[in-house]
Structure 1
Amino acid sequence: MRADDLILFSQVVELGSFSRVAEINNLTNSVVSKRIARLEQQIGVQLLYRTTRKLTLTEAGKALMHGAKNVKQAAQEAMDAVSGFGENVSGHIKMSVPTISGDLILADAVAEFCNLHPGLSVDMSLDNRFVDLFDGGYDLVIRTGYLEDSSLIARHILDSQWIVCASPSYIARNGKPKEPSDLTRHNCLQYAYQTTGASDWEFKAEQGNYIVKVTGSFSTDNATALRKAALGGYGIAYVPRCLVYHDLRNAQLVDLFPEQVGKKLGIYAVYPFTRQPPNKVKLLIEHIRARYLAISHYF
């Protein structure tokens, strides 16, 4: 005896019509009739008296109806419980975000999300490493650069364009490079967090992107330190535009090759593969995405 046949039988009794039950379940009348007939065959007794005007329960049908209602109610309660859990934005989220985005936007955005949902707490670490979501127990990771892992879902938020920049004081002392190849004769400040290497700077050309290998006296894996070194006039930096957006607007830094830098990396919300991620994670992703898009011109 199948539980879904019992639920269908309960619906037939409550609505008093095969056609109405067929309609709400997106079935045909014949399918509903066959399933009730199958139920009667399995039990070995007739459950309904059928006339052209109405359906009437037999004694056996009356006895079965009580149990069928219990099955239907239990199924509905189970669905309601799952639905309620999904809609309830509470509990805890452990996440990891890159340092630049954390400082620029995510610290404020995530704190705001927690304030909007008092039953929720978030543990957010700022880390440029590609953390292991499973070993680290992370529910969500914001990362620059796509992670090729079939056990993860990566939702694209936007793209981050990189630039080559220097302060007016550095340019005044050392001259402005006219072509990317001129960078080999300059002190290039190197950001150690790069998938292609801190000294490999990517540029566009008609034949495709190419690499200029640079050298310099200062290297760091901290974006804030790199920005300060560039502002201090100590060299030329290769950084995400969002890091120095305001410095460019204020003319404290100069974009040296506005149309030639070839590095553009996607920013993704990454979470473990599930058929239906928790609602709190989905809502947090949408909140973060909206905040990114609101300042998309920074990127």
Structure 2
Amino acid sequence: MSNQNNKLDNIYLMRLFNAIVRGGSFAAAAEALEISTSKASKDIQFLEQQLGTSLLKRTTRRLQVTDSGNDFHRRAEQIIALHQQMLDSLDKQKRCVSGELRLTAPKLWGEEVLTPAIIAFKQAYPEVILVADYSDSRRDLILGNIHIGFRSAEAAPEDYIARPICEDASVLCASAAYLSSREAPQHIQQLRQHSCITYGNQLSSIETWEFGEGRELIRCDIQGQLCFNSKRAALTAVRQGLGIAKMPAYMVADDLSQGRLVQVLPQQPLKSSRFYALYTQRREESALVNQFIGFVCDYLARQQQSLNAD
């Protein structure tokens, strides 16, 4: 069939002709395809012109299929069946939740937050193979052939498609025992009068704590009496009553709800960012990628609702 100046879809024309053959009339075919009888007639005339042959003999009483029409009908049935198989295969590929999924995430967030979601996803979709790489080094998704990268940022990165996952909030906290022995700070500057536990490295024990957002942002350099390059070690020190620390909200949510820790300066919230799921354009249509990201969003939302309820 010629493609030159083809104003109508070839699959549609094949379906229309076959409907006429099966129904025995233009009216029956038009009703089946939800078009007018006049359009059906004009479209078949166009098809015959494109093919350069008559497919139907029209009489006042009935339609008769020509030899060319019978041949076209038989071949059109095969093409339509193959076309539908192709569409079904593509649709199944988009909907099928199986295969291998490679992920990367910051080490602490991945271990504390993402791992339970991965385990829940694996239980729901046991056929999926999940490979998680937790590292604070930023992986190149394309070079590393990674499907999804989870990252914390103030704004969505422009290099990838980004879907917000959850808030990446921090809180200042201390143990009730620590605060029982001294007055809790009421202003940011009063933090300098307290024992603070900072996150840093061997080169510096000073950590910058940022409060507020935008133009209202207040930065305060805190000298730590204790300094760790591990948030878990810092949390242990806070629980032991050794001072005030800036901690990821997801790490201390249970301690705060159970009263083991107390939030410090709740009226002065720390600057927050968001976690994003990043993926490339070529992964956009992947059913597995979309299913996993949606699952993680729902899982974390349920976890947050449970914490709020408590």
Amino acid at match of 2:220: V
Which of 262-271 and 52-61 deviates more?
52-61
Which of 18-27 and 167-176 deviates more?
18-27
Is the alpha carbon distance of 1:50 and 1:235 closer, same or farther for their aligned partners in structure 2, counting shifts above 3 Å? farther
SS in 1 for 2:220: strand
* 2:245 aligns with one of 229, 237, 250: 237
Is the alpha carbon distance of 1:267 and 1:46 closer, same or farther for their aligned partners in structure 2, counting shifts above 3 Å? same
Q: Residue 70 of structure 1 corresponds to which residue in structure 2?
A: 78
Question: Number of residues paired by the alignment?
Answer: 294
Using the TM superposition, give the Cα deviation of residue 101 of structure 1 relative to its aligned residue in structure 2, in angstroms: 3.8
| 8 Å Cα contact 2:185-2:265 kept in structure 1 | no
Answering whether residue 140 of structure 2 is matched by residue 148 of structure 1, we say no
Post-superposition CA distance 1:170-229 (Å, at most 9, x none): 435665322012223444333459xxxx83322238972322222224444533223223
Root-mean-square deviation (Å): 3.2
What percentage of aligned pairs have identical amino acids?
A: 28
Amino acid at match of 2:158: D
Answering whether residue 244 of structure 2 is matched by residue 210 of structure 1, we say no
Per the normalisation by structure 2, the TM-score is 0.80
Which of 11-20 and 262-271 deviates more?
11-20
| 8 Å Cα contact 1:45-1:60 kept in structure 2 | yes
Is the alpha carbon distance of 1:63 and 1:142 closer, same or farther for their aligned partners in structure 2, counting shifts above 3 Å? same
Q: Residue 277 of structure 2 corresponds to which residue in structure 1?
A: 269
Per the normalisation by structure 1, the TM-score is 0.82
**Bigger radius of gyration:** 2
Q: Residue 246 of structure 1 corresponds to which residue in structure 2?
A: 254
Q: Residue 131 of structure 1 corresponds to which residue in structure 2?
A: 139
Is the alpha carbon distance of 1:55 and 1:258 closer, same or farther for their aligned partners in structure 2, counting shifts above 3 Å? farther
Amino acid at match of 1:42: Q
Answering whether residue 60 of structure 2 is matched by residue 42 of structure 1, we say no
Is the alpha carbon distance of 1:127 and 1:21 closer, same or farther for their aligned partners in structure 2, counting shifts above 3 Å? farther
* 1:89 aligns with one of 87, 94, 97: 97
CA distance in 1, matches of 2:195, 2:82: 71
Amino acid at match of 1:284: F
| 8 Å Cα contact 1:86-1:279 kept in structure 2 | yes
Is the alpha carbon distance of 1:25 and 1:106 closer, same or farther for their aligned partners in structure 2, counting shifts above 3 Å? farther
| 8 Å Cα contact 2:283-2:289 kept in structure 1 | no
Is the alpha carbon distance of 1:218 and 1:50 closer, same or farther for their aligned partners in structure 2, counting shifts above 3 Å? farther
| 8 Å Cα contact 1:105-1:291 kept in structure 2 | no
Using the TM superposition, give the Cα deviation of residue 26 of structure 1 relative to its aligned residue in structure 2, in angstroms: 6.6
Residue correspondence of structure 1 range 172-211 to structure 2 within 5 A: 172=180, 175-191=183-199, 199-204=207-212, 208-211=216-219
Q: Residue 293 of structure 2 corresponds to which residue in structure 1?
A: 285
CA distance in 1, matches of 2:303, 2:142: 31
Amino acid at match of 1:115: Q
Post-superposition CA distance 1:42-66 (Å, at most 9, x none): 2111112346776442221111112
CA distance in 2, matches of 1:226, 1:53: 92
Answering whether residue 25 of structure 2 is matched by residue 13 of structure 1, we say no
* 1:159 aligns with one of 163, 167, 184: 167
Q: Structure 1: state its 5+ residue gaps.
A: none
Using the TM superposition, give the Cα deviation of residue 263 of structure 1 relative to its aligned residue in structure 2, in angstroms: 1.7
Using the TM superposition, give the Cα deviation of residue 254 of structure 1 relative to its aligned residue in structure 2, in angstroms: 1.6
SS in 2 for 1:72: helix
Is the alpha carbon distance of 1:30 and 1:246 closer, same or farther for their aligned partners in structure 2, counting shifts above 3 Å? same
Is the alpha carbon distance of 1:45 and 1:119 closer, same or farther for their aligned partners in structure 2, counting shifts above 3 Å? same
Which of 13-22 and 251-260 deviates more?
13-22
Using the TM superposition, give the Cα deviation of residue 154 of structure 1 relative to its aligned residue in structure 2, in angstroms: 1.8
Using the TM superposition, give the Cα deviation of residue 12 of structure 1 relative to its aligned residue in structure 2, in angstroms: 4.0
SS in 2 for 1:199: strand
Amino acid at match of 1:190: T
Q: Residue 103 of structure 1 corresponds to which residue in structure 2?
A: 111
* 1:113 aligns with one of 121, 128, 131: 121
| 8 Å Cα contact 2:113-2:250 kept in structure 1 | no
Answering whether residue 310 of structure 2 is matched by residue 296 of structure 1, we say no
| 8 Å Cα contact 2:147-2:283 kept in structure 1 | no
Amino acid at match of 1:117: Y
CA distance in 2, matches of 1:11, 1:245: 64
| 8 Å Cα contact 1:184-1:213 kept in structure 2 | no
CA distance in 1, matches of 2:228, 2:184: 23
